[in-house]
A and B are shown apart, each in its own frame.
Chain A
Amino acid sequence: MSQESGWVSRLRLLCLLEAVTLVALVFVAVPLKHLAGLPSAVSVMGPVHGFAFLVLCWAVNHAVASRDIPPRAGWRLVLLAFVPFGGFHGWATLGRR
């Protein structure tokens, strides 16, 4: 496996991880806090998602600086990370490269 494809598969994995943590935060932890009175779900999932987001941003930045992916694709991945389920789209898009 070349270094380029290694970075792309790492990015795909991180997109998936970020997407799963965002979905868990928005659709599980937040309703648990507001509907079931369990704020601990958000206080656990919030930092977990924050960490996944930071790692994704760092990896995208590294991949763009290494020219493994074009800057436009990098911006797209970061913007998708703000949208629930957007990371799944990024994961699928990178898979077609």
Chain B
Amino acid sequence: MTLYLWLKALHAAAVLAWVGGLVLLGVATVSVRLGPGAVVLPHEKGLVHALLRWDRRVTVPAMFLAWALGLALVSRGGWFGAHWLSAKLLVVMGLSGLHGVLAASLRRRIDSPGEPAPRWIRFAPVLAVVGPGVVALLVILKP
């Protein structure tokens, strides 16, 4: 098996772990419905801390690995300049940004429960599913 195929397979595995964690974060952020006067129950706090621990230990390293392997694939495959790749990079940067915002927002909501979350955050789980879907279409169809 060639090195390119190994890189591709490991990249796909890392992306799966990253997207799984991203969806988990999105659903958790929407589920922890907090607002003015809200109180966080101890079991909710424990669950969120476990999620954030998972994020730190699994999702973030998987995201970094997916980036590194993706860049290695682009370099070895000579894909720089392809339109589908530019579009994919935009979506990937958006998903990376979404991940950072969700992790930070979840931590902040637990630390200060009275603080209202931005309205768009309720669409986070949808974005976490649609974004990787668009990436899959771009990578496979290469329009």
Contact = CB atoms under 8 A, between A and B. Distances in A.
Contacts of A65: 100-101, 103-105, 108
Interface residues of B, number: 20
A47 B67 CA distance: 10
Contacts of A33: none
Given A46-B75, A66-B107, A66-B108, A55 B101 contact: no
A67 interface: yes
Contacts of B101: 61-62, 65
Interface of B: 63-64, 67-68, 71-72, 74-75, 80, 93, 96-97, 99-101, 103-105, 107-108
Given A46-B75, A57-B93, A57-B97, 12 more contacts: A47-B72, A54-B96, A55-B64, A61-B97, A61-B100, A61-B101, A62-B100, A62-B101, A65-B101, A65-B103, A65-B104, A66-B108
